Structure 1
Amino acid sequence: MCWDISFSSDIELVKKSFPAIRDERKKIDYDYSYFENVQAITFPAYPIIYKDKNGSGLALREMEWGVLPLYIQDPKLQTDRRRSMVNIRSERILEDKKSYWYRLRNQRCLIPVTGTYEHRAISGWKKKVPYFIAEAGRDIFYIPGLYQWHEVVDQDGVIDTVGSFGMLTRTANEVMSQIHNNGPNKHRMPLYLPADLEQQWLEDLGEEDMAPIFHFEMPSAQLTYHPVYTLRGYPTRPDQKHRYEPFKWEGLPELGNDTPNNNSLF
């Protein structure tokens, strides 16, 4: 699963990419240290760009990561199922016209990020090595997603409309398959896009226009990546540097070779 994204910049930069966007955020002042590693498993609120299907243009608004499966009524079962709906396999959106994702195909959004994270397994190591990945030469980029609305009622009986979204993924390219090399959803990656396809994702698209976007594979040479210390918990790094700066793991082999150097174990 692709469960970790990062936004370590200024959300106001979104308005430079989309000058006509409406700002519908309820919260303006963000703790960007929190945004450095946003984990899908907690269903966090996160600012995304969406195009209202009623044609009122683009807007920036917080929505919860993880599409809420409205067809499930039991709260526990709903939460369990929701964990598998933080990501959306782009290949499936048009394949199954009875699927939940096909019904949401025209409710498209973009997720602003400065990077994403993924874990790499090394033979014999207990801990996986986390990597930060981004598009080379871009301070901020956008991952496509789908969203939906649902209503919630608070303890005072006030009804509010809440959005939830999922992030599109695809089969990993060469470098991402070497990083995301383990687990039940190994060899997957977020659907990284160039700027022109990001903009196109929010246009009025027919199904024939969506397919080329789903099939786009970001070349490995256009990604930048490096190992970091950890994504879970808040331990102090041995070198005292910021937790998301590049970290040199002793014995870490080159990508494509998962046998540790010097028999180093972690």
Structure 2
Amino acid sequence: MPRLQAVFWDVDGTLADTEMDGHRPAFNQAFADLGWGWQWNRAEYQRLLAIPGGTQRVAQYAIERGEVLDATQLEDLRRCKQLHYLNRIRGGAVSLRPGVSRLLNQLVHAGLQQWIVTSSGRASVEALLEGLFANADVPFDGVVSANDVERHKPYPDPYLCALERSGADLDGSVAIEDSAAGLIAAHEASLSCLVTPSLWDQQLPKQLHRACAVFNHLGEATLPHLQTSGPPCAKGMVTLEYLQSLVDSTC
């Protein structure tokens, strides 16, 4: 029987609700600082979230507008946006989703590997970790970001890279995702995937059949989750034992 060895966490929307109150305002502030004249409202940003990765999102939006951005412009935007994003994180604009801190700590105490696997750039990940874990040890053993692979989610490359770097067995690993792109990437890498859906991803409902289990969040003792699919989960909380049950199953 395989034993759980590693948990691979997506970042934006999975660890924390970063998109609408973190990344979007930071992008808008950066657009203003650079004099681009762009502004992303919630509806527009929700549409663009179908494109994984902030740099790819900006580049595609420019193409839609009939504009061409060179590498220097994209890098200037990335740096400027990153400063605003970090300031928002430090200001408390973003917090961990329910049950995330509890499960992270449980897995740390069990000695299991935990990796971040994301289509965001490394700088964005580092900013979030600095803000969320400023007074505590960061619980992750490694990061696979947009800087580490040529093809991002929904391609399986980020997860294949994480499996290689972690040395974890495929049948002893679980991914936790919130988006269609992330779920497809995990599924194409043949990973068991638990999903806590983002409210902003309009493509996800069509892909949920690929998930081993679906919850509105990971659950707390005072805030139990709502489960919509997968093996029954006791006490309203996703635990190490429940993740092991996903490994044991044939999902």
Same fold (TM over 0.5): no
- Between Structure 1 and Structure 2, the one with more helix by share is 2
TM-score by length of 2: 0.29
- Between Structure 1 and Structure 2, the one with more strand by share is 1
Higher relative contact order (CA 8 A, sep 6+): 2
